[in-house]
Amino acid sequence: MAADDVIKAHVKALKEGTDHARSLAQTLLNVPYGEGEGEKLDAYIPTTNSLDVPLVIYLHGGYWQFLSKEESGFMAVPLMDKGVVVVAVGYDIAPRGNMDLMVSQVRRSVVSVVQQYSHISGLYLCGHSAGAHLAAMVLSTDWSQYSFMPEIKGAFLVSGIYDLLPILSTYVNEPLKMTEEVAIRNSPSKLIPQTLKATGVNVTLEDVSNTDHFSIIEQLVDEDYHLTKLLLKMMGKR
């Protein structure tokens, strides 16, 4: 497939999965987490009487310049079947949004979600590509600057970009207009002086065979997919 066709197929797969989830789930759509027009989220809520209800916040990819929460509910069906709430977060992609704004938005979205869904048993993050970068930035937040410190029990970072400096000289940076200073302060790899393992966090690295950058996340619609099982296992749901 040509590069443009790969992107189109990816967007189509995610949109179809999201439409399917919306047809099956109880949803709360376009819930504001801030005052900005792009600061909205969608919640996919399982039918369950259990008090053990984990919540996964999903941050979409798209090189910070395409995709949206409208294509980000695709993974909800297999997770809802296990009693998991899925929240897809929107943020202002470039050129409307810059990197500092996007990072600020996803951090604030996490605080808002925890305050709105205070009954959840555990908060988890999942992000793909640029969304994995944003999830990593959430993990490196100095929460003393906020009125609330969320307890994040786990994170699932899929095919992320953790050093933004190599992007500066590429076409990806044209709409982002990042300077070196912006790239450094928004690179998770520059913000963590020691490894996550050294801080006592349980870390695993998975090399998922027979996938590419796009199919690795698209397949989360399948309850039998390796990463779906791992995500549920992380939450104690499998």
Please spell the DSSP secondary structure of 184-231, one letter per residue.
HHT-HHHH-SS-TGGGT--------TT--TTHHHHGGG-TTSHHHHHH
Of 85-89, 165-169, 177-181, 232-236, give the lowest mean pLDDT range. 232-236
Residue 167's pLDDT is what? 96
* Band (161; pLDDT cuts 50, 70, 90): very high
Residue 139's pLDDT is what? 92
Q: Residue 211: which residues within 8 A CB-CB, separation 6 or more?
A: 219
72-124, pLDDT tens digit by residue?
A: 999 999 999 999 999 999 999 999 999 999 999 999 999 999 988 878 899 99
pLDDT exceeds cutoff 90 at 222: yes
Which CATH superfamily includes the segment(s) 3-234? Alpha/Beta hydrolase fold, catalytic domain (3.40.50.1820)
φ and ψ at residue 75, rounded to 5 degrees: -85, 0
204-214, pLDDT tens digit by residue?
A: 899 999 999 99
* Band (160; pLDDT cuts 50, 70, 90): very high
Q: What is the mean pLDDT of the chain?
A: 93
Q: Where are the domains of the chain?
A: 3-234
Residue 226 contacts residue 237 (beta carbons within 8 Å): no
Q: Kindly report whether the global pTM for this prediction surpasses the value 0.85.
A: yes
What DSSP string runs through 20-71? Answer: HHHHHSEEEEEEESSSSTT-EEEEEE-----S--EEEEEE--STTTS--GGG
Residue 148's pLDDT is what? 80
Residue 137's pLDDT is what? 96
* Band (146; pLDDT cuts 50, 70, 90): confident
Residue identified by tokens 């899925």 is 86
pLDDT exceeds cutoff 70 at 125: yes
| Inter-CA distances, 138 with 31, 111, 133, 189, Å | 20, 10, 9, 13
Mean pLDDT value across residues 31-54: 91
* Band (28; pLDDT cuts 50, 70, 90): very high
Q: Rounded CA gap, 102 and 91, in Å?
A: 6
* Band (1; pLDDT cuts 50, 70, 90): confident
* Band (194; pLDDT cuts 50, 70, 90): low
Q: Rounded CA gap, 32 and 45, in Å?
A: 17
Residue 131's pLDDT is what? 98
Residue 193's pLDDT is what? 62
* Residue 92 token pair: 């202002």
Q: Rounded CA gap, 111 and 102, in Å?
A: 15
Give the burial string for 206-218 (b: 16+ CB within 10 Å, else e): eeeeebeebebbb
pLDDT exceeds cutoff 90 at 198: no
- Give the sheet arrangement for strand 40-45, strand by strand: 26-32, 40-45, 85-89, 54-59, 122-128, 152-158
